[in-house]
Structure 1
Amino acid sequence: MIRFRLKELIADKEFKEGRRITLEEVSRETGIHRTTLSKIANQKGYITNTDVLDRLCLYFEVPIGSIAEHLPVNDTEPQSQA
């Protein structure tokens, strides 16, 4: 399963810049719909496209590996339907 690190990236940026950053601000700056950002941040197993990932890399100024990570799926854990 792919786990997105959006919440951690926002927290890191908030700390570095000394201010609060909202999903609305990220949406405005990246052109990614706020609902999509919310799903990336909160929905386990959410599927997105490479354009969204590219925009997040540019906004946070990080490589793709900082946006998402691969986690092995436990065979006993139910998988969400795509």
Structure 2
Amino acid sequence: MIKCHLSELMGKKKLKIADLARETDLHRNTITLLYREEAARVDLETMDKLCKYFNCTVGDLFEFFPDDSK
């Protein structure tokens, strides 16, 4: 399972989805799906823009948790 930490990063800066969309030129739907951890896939360009905006690494934005059910 992959966990997205976008909501935490946005919370630290007290950002709204609309603010982040405006600042990064990403579509509001893209940010909403990541924020709610409902995204099925993420473009490299999206990760690049978010990492640049938050001055973080991909590892700060996403975290992998092994699935123990298998």
TM-score tier after normalising by the smaller chain length? 0.7 to 0.9
- Decide whether the 8 Å contact of 2:2 with 2:65 is kept in 1: yes
- How many pairs align? 70
Residue aligning to 1:56: 50
* Deviation (angstroms), 1:44: 3.9
Identity %, equivalent residues:
29
- Provide structure 1 residue ranges, at least 5 long, that are not aligned to the other structure: 15-20, 77-82
Q: Once the two structures are superposed, what CA deviation does each residue of 1:6-60 show, in whole Å capped at 9, x if it has no partner?
A: 000011122xxxxxx2110100111110001000111346311111001000111
Which AA in structure 2 matches 1:25? Answer: D
Q: Give the TM-score normalised by structure 2.
A: 0.86
| Root mean square deviation, CA, Å | 1.6
**Alpha-carbon distance between aligned partners in 2 of 1:22 and 1:61, rounded to the nearest angstrom:** 18
- CA 1:53/1:46 → structure 2, altered by over 3 Å: closer, same or farther? same
- Decide whether the 8 Å contact of 2:24 with 2:50 is kept in 1: yes
**Structure 1 stretches of at least 4 aligned residues deviating more than 4 Å after TM superposition:** none
Q: Determine which structure has more spread, i.e. the larger CA radius of gyration.
A: 1
- Provide structure 2 residue ranges, at least 5 long, that are not aligned to the other structure: none
**Alpha-carbon distance between aligned partners in 2 of 1:35 and 1:68, rounded to the nearest angstrom:** 18
